[in-house]
Structure 1
Amino acid sequence: MPIHMITMPKWGLSMEQGQVNGWLKSVGDKVGKGDEVLDVETDKISSGVECAFNGTLRRQVAQEGETLPIGALLGVVADVETPDSDIDAAVEAFQRDFVPPTAADGESGPQPEKAQIGGRTVRYLKLGDGGTPVVLIHGFGGDLNNWLFNHADLAAHRAVWALDLPGHGESGKTIDTGSADELADSVIAFLDDRKIERAHLVGHSMGALIAMTVAARAPQRVASLALISGAGLGEEINREYIEGFAAGNSRNTLKPHLTKLFADGSLVTRQLVEDIVKYKRLEGVGDALQKISASAFEGGVQQRNYRDQLEKLAPRTLVIWGSEDQIIPARHAEGLPATTHVHIIAGKGHMVQMEAASEVNRLLNDFFGS
């Protein structure tokens, strides 16, 4: 068996380094593809680094507390029969030849762009080319960075666009009613502006509601729907979270709500909280979020339900949910039309596309097809 190197991954365009929080596997443990072997914290989020090989963990090169650049050696996987001397030589050769990427290297790839669409500034990011395009639609209070673990993987096979909805991220903050129809129309305007005739729509949380509204308003534009922890399939929603997020504007008022997004609240880093605080303090954000929450979640109840129409909205529909979702209950995935592809991912929360990125990416790529 060859000697395989586990290296520091690159999650999102802005990631330059990661800090090792701890090993989840010990030297001598058998590991397989998809197993999380150590935990790494970036300036966005903590996450497990998955092994891409089958074998035995033979070396833990990176130590807990170390901060290492993208591509740095973390550990080694090989057969138990592989001599220690061979592994030592391989580690020595890797470390000798490794050149950390520079800031210029990180900026050489595609970067988010902005356009004036329908009288608003819209920030978006396109990766990949060819095939039927995919459009990623984030949820309430999110932005295109909610897809940082998914975007590049999905774009290996096709063009994939992510955008900031009105009132979110770096898009314009002025909105009218904040209704699902208004936000859906902004997505349709984005499709028009980018000359995307037909796309697979992937929506997370409120983004799923928006994706279904686009399908209801312009069915000819939708090749399929992929709904992740989706709003719009039932009435219940965590009222405390919606109201707390909309009202909070400090670390202390926001962090307790942000931890509810994940089954493992420790994944919420200090930087993630600080980024949300900065966003919440931008002019116009508070008003925009209040309008959206009042329209979509008035009284702590979802105001629009596409459950009975789901089978007719798009040619194909995929539903993905984390079993431990604390924002929208996973039981909303039960009893859907038999033609709907439903996957419940055990032990994960509302941000399942981050907590179980590899599995979600596999499900999406299989669903889209070649």
Structure 2
Amino acid sequence: MPTEVIMPKVDMDMASGKLAVWHVAEGEAVKKGAALFDIETDKAAMEVEAPASGILRHILANPGVDVPVGSPVAYIYAEGEAIGPAPVAAPPALAEPDAAKPAAEPEAVEAAALPLAGAADEAPRATPVARRLAREGGIELAALAGTGPKGRIQRSDVEAEIERRKTPVAAPAPVPAPAPAAPAYVMDWTPQAGDLHVTTRKGNGVPLVMVHGFAADSAGWTPLERALPRDLPLIRIDLPSHGRSPLRRIAGFADLAKALVQTFDRIAEGPVHLLGHSLGGALSLALADIRPRQIKTLSLIAPAGLGPEIDGAALNGIARASTADSLAPWLKRLTARPEGISHDFAKAAMLSRLDPALRSAQQELAESLFPDGVQAFDLTAALSRVTAPTLMVWGRDDHILPWKQALAAPGEVALHLMRGVGHVPHMEDPEAVAALIGRHLRP
């Protein structure tokens, strides 16, 4: 039987993806693991690999079409395998964008090859990641020779050009004397100036300030945002060395909290609702302790700082991972069950972690905040001083921070322990978390 090629799920909240371009034409041979097509989601563009070797047949989706997750987009037949009839009809979501066009006969799907990357124009053929890296590095793709299939420019081609430009043309320097051994993660990176990156969503009423966790960024709030009231104004802050904020050297938790307070003072125009997850929960707790009159309500999702235990290996593994293969096993620690994180999800997550300097900065931060795999800061006293109404949500299957640390909360805190949920309740069950927060924010 032929191998079905489906639209993969690369985000936890992904319902469909836009097929951007095919890299293999109808009737062409393809090898397992080769780039087959590109997809675009709200967060990223990425290539999808062929699940098997063989001949590509029955392409069901044209570029530009939104395809539901799990729906077939084509089939791969083994060499010599009899070609079956084309599907009678594609699912409604796979229909051509222009409904006015007459429906094609089934045979036409088999005979006509769909557009391939670069076939419609003279633009260089390149992967989405390669295009982004080239754009950020000021590199003309036309000047590069691609090493991928059919001369396609890969990420490695652009990275090689970036490294080549960094290398000065000069006489060899004297070989320095051996230096003392350094931690394996250390590499040269330059701290950057500038304010922390802040994004907003307009709405009515008191805004909700959102602070993400370690090695995450503001995009991680997307599943929860979709479940929250649409008119709720949002303010998202990327922590130092995360997301689109500048890379900074952080001496410890107090230094990191100071950076958040400075950003809060810059953007806050009145009392706010405050929400934080994990490390962002600890920082939100510190902010509520420092600026009590500015915090109308406090919502904490699996906050750090309430006990020494933490899965330091997972945090360091995520910060250190340089490929989707090395990132995926650690991401699986975030959810209640390993199958909650697919390899395609890990590949999409890796797209925002391609910068080695960012990874090294986060590894340094992890060593500063969690030396020897423990939490080097304690917010239990601050939690007892908080005057704002406080909500705490924790997954009972949290593998990163033990849920029993929630028992450090005083009796006034509204505590909700969720069964079958891990360290990221706002991604695993966003509707339930949104309902809890929505009730908490009501006057």
Seen in structure 2, the aligned counterparts of structure 1 residues 171 and 70 have a Cα distance that, compared at 3 Å, is farther
CA contact under 8 A between 2:195 and 2:263: conserved in structure 1? no
**Structure 2 letter corresponding to 1:69:** D
Deviation readout 1:289-339 (Å, 9 max, x if unpaired): 123212221111111111233131242111101110000011111252110
1:183 aligns with 2:180: no
Deviation readout 1:227-250 (Å, 9 max, x if unpaired): 101101111101211221222212
SS at match of 2:415: strand
Paired with 1:252 and 1:350, the residues of 2 have a C-alpha distance of 21
Match of 2:281 among 194, 208, 211: 208
Residue in structure 2 matched with residue 32 of structure 1 by the alignment: none
Paired with 1:363 and 1:202, the residues of 2 have a C-alpha distance of 12
Seen in structure 2, the aligned counterparts of structure 1 residues 14 and 238 have a Cα distance that, compared at 3 Å, is closer
Unaligned 5+ runs, structure 1? 1-10, 20-41, 46-64, 75-94, 102-117
**Structure 1 letter corresponding to 2:17:** Q
Residue in structure 2 matched with residue 282 of structure 1 by the alignment: 355
Paired with 1:15 and 1:121, the residues of 2 have a C-alpha distance of 34
What's the CA shift for 1:274? 2.3
Residue in structure 2 matched with residue 142 of structure 1 by the alignment: 216
Paired with 2:336 and 2:442, the residues of 1 have a C-alpha distance of 30
Match of 1:315 among 388, 395, 403: 388
User: Within 5 A, what are the aligned runs for 1:281-300?
Assistant: 281-300=354-373
What's the CA shift for 1:340? 0.4
What's the CA shift for 1:362? 0.2
Residue in structure 2 matched with residue 199 of structure 1 by the alignment: 272
1:164 aligns with 2:161: no
Seen in structure 2, the aligned counterparts of structure 1 residues 336 and 13 have a Cα distance that, compared at 3 Å, is closer
Match of 2:194 among 93, 110, 120: 120
Paired with 1:43 and 1:369, the residues of 2 have a C-alpha distance of 30
Q: Which segment is superposed worse, 336-345 or 177-186?
A: 177-186
1:324 aligns with 2:411: no
User: Within 5 A, what are the aligned runs for 1:6-25?
Assistant: 17=17
Deviation readout 1:147-190 (Å, 9 max, x if unpaired): 111124335243111121110112212x1325323332333333
What's the CA shift for 1:127? 1.8
SS at match of 1:120: coil
What's the CA shift for 1:208? 0.5
Seen in structure 2, the aligned counterparts of structure 1 residues 71 and 243 have a Cα distance that, compared at 3 Å, is closer
Paired with 1:13 and 1:267, the residues of 2 have a C-alpha distance of 11
Paired with 1:214 and 1:163, the residues of 2 have a C-alpha distance of 13
**% same residue:** 25
SS at match of 1:260: coil
What's the CA shift for 1:66? 9.6
CA contact under 8 A between 2:396 and 2:403: conserved in structure 1? yes
Larger radius of gyration: 2
SS at match of 2:196: strand
Seen in structure 2, the aligned counterparts of structure 1 residues 343 and 123 have a Cα distance that, compared at 3 Å, is same
What's the CA shift for 1:143? 0.5
**Structure 2 letter corresponding to 1:327:** I
**Structure 1 letter corresponding to 2:393:** I
Paired with 1:18 and 1:268, the residues of 2 have a C-alpha distance of 21
What's the CA shift for 1:354? 0.7
1:344 aligns with 2:430: no
Which structure shows the bigger proportion of residues in strand conformation?
Answer: 1
Residue in structure 2 matched with residue 83 of structure 1 by the alignment: none
SS at match of 1:125: strand
- Report the TM-score, using the length of structure 2 for normalisation: 0.56
Unaligned 5+ runs, structure 2? 1-10, 20-40, 45-59, 72-91, 99-191
Paired with 1:340 and 1:139, the residues of 2 have a C-alpha distance of 21
**Structure 1 letter corresponding to 2:432:** E
CA contact under 8 A between 2:319 and 2:360: conserved in structure 1? no
Paired with 1:44 and 1:275, the residues of 2 have a C-alpha distance of 8
Seen in structure 2, the aligned counterparts of structure 1 residues 218 and 119 have a Cα distance that, compared at 3 Å, is farther
Paired with 1:157 and 1:251, the residues of 2 have a C-alpha distance of 36
CA contact under 8 A between 2:306 and 2:408: conserved in structure 1? no
CA contact under 8 A between 1:321 and 1:350: conserved in structure 2? yes
Seen in structure 2, the aligned counterparts of structure 1 residues 253 and 12 have a Cα distance that, compared at 3 Å, is closer
Residue in structure 1 matched with residue 295 of structure 2 by the alignment: 222
Paired with 2:215 and 2:383, the residues of 1 have a C-alpha distance of 25
**Structure 2 letter corresponding to 1:234:** G
Paired with 2:401 and 2:12, the residues of 1 have a C-alpha distance of 26
Q: Paired residues, what number?
A: 281
Seen in structure 2, the aligned counterparts of structure 1 residues 314 and 249 have a Cα distance that, compared at 3 Å, is farther
CA contact under 8 A between 2:13 and 2:427: conserved in structure 1? no
User: Within 5 A, what are the aligned runs for 1:30-179?
Assistant: 69=66, 119-173=193-247, 175-179=248-252
CA contact under 8 A between 1:311 and 1:340: conserved in structure 2? no
What's the CA shift for 1:100? 6.4
Match of 2:323 among 240, 243, 250: 250
